[in-house]
Amino acid sequence: MKKSKISKIINKKNRTPITCLTAYSKITAQLADKYCDIILVGDSLGMVLYGMKSTKEVKIETMILHCKTVKKYAKKSLVVFDMPYKTYKNKFIAYENAKKVIKATKCDAVKLEGGKEISNIINYLTEKGIPVMGHVGLLPQSSNNFRVKGRNFLQSKKIFDDALSISNSGVFAIVLECVIESLAKAISNNVHVPTIGIGASKYCDGQILVIDDILGMSDIKPKFVKQYSNLKKIMENSVKKYVTDVKSRKFPSDKNVYK
Ligand code: KIV
């Protein structure tokens, strides 16, 4: 089952755009599952849900809790668990942690951030039968800024080499985060697995965004985000109206009362 879901994703390379969103809860899992190929339980939940300064603060137990819920309500999409900071320091630690999260959540795959330096870890996990999604470009777990990557030659070459290295180590797809268009195009044309872009242009084989960002529930709005609704405004109006109704004794009305 897991294998066939992954083969379907790989087969979409150069054919059909792969659709991905993050999800962290029951309702977001249900929504994403209805329309997306991949759901990522991203460690972005630290900043998005818990107001943390960075994803480095996210604990594996928190991720497990959210991933269990997502997996329970995502019946068809491939569910990927984002391994948090310091949970894959070497191949043995990575394997123990990946085994633990798969057992606890029944997720289909794990995602690791990094390039050449983690190729041996990716190799080890995939040899042990754990599907791995890679992530290069802007790496929130190790970067100290959120600037676009690949504008200078050395940085661009490093990201390109990192993508090649992890694709040869066995990842089934690679997230390319916040890299310039020409680099995303070069990587996508040269790796045999699908690239999934976030701020990485139309040349990727698929796209991913944080669900709260497309729904308009976040305070920050990077250029690469397209916001499809303004839930924050809708929620604010609802809270405001409720408080006004309570104060003016309009709520509860006869409709809301047991007689
Ligand atoms: O944690 C996350 O949501 C991610 C995506 C931004 C790709 O890694």
How many CA atoms lie less than 13 Å away from 75 in the CB half-sphere?
2
Does the CB atom of residue 23 touch ligand 1 within 6 A?
no
Q: What is the rounded distance in angstroms from the CA atom of residue 186 to the CA atom of residue 180? A: 10
With 0-12 / 13-18 / 19 or more C-beta atoms within 10 angstroms meaning exposed / middle / buried, residue 4 is exposed
Residue 37 amino acid letter: D
pLDDT tens per residue across span 133-181: 999 999 999 998 899 999 999 999 999 999 999 999 999 999 999 999 9
- The answer, yes or no, to whether any atom of ligand 1 lies below 6 A from the CB of 113, is no
Provide the pLDDT confidence category of residue 2 given band limits of 50, 70 and 90.
low
SS3 content of the chain, % helix, strand, coil (to 5): 45, 15, 40
In this prediction, residues 221-238 reach a mean pLDDT of: 96
Answer yes or no: are the C-beta atoms of 208 and 40 closer than 8 Å. yes
**In Å, what is the CA distance from 184 to each residue of 115, 194, 215?**
15, 11, 26
State residue 1's pLDDT score: 46
15-50 tens-digit pLDDT: 999 999 999 999 999 999 999 999 999 999 999 999
By annotation, the residues acting in catalysis are 177
Q: Under a CB-based contact definition with an 8 Å cutoff, are residues 176 and 195 in contact?
A: yes
Question: Which atom from ligand 1 is nearest to the alpha carbon of 208?
Answer: 7
Closest ligand 1 atom to Cα of 175: 7
CA distance 64 to 188: 31
Q: Is 43 in the pocket of ligand 1 (CB under 6 A)?
A: yes
Q: Quote the pTM value.
A: 0.97
* Ligand 1 atom nearest residue 177's Cα: 7
Averaged pLDDT score across all residues of the chain: 97
Ligand 1: which residue has its CA nearest to atom 5?
Answer: 42
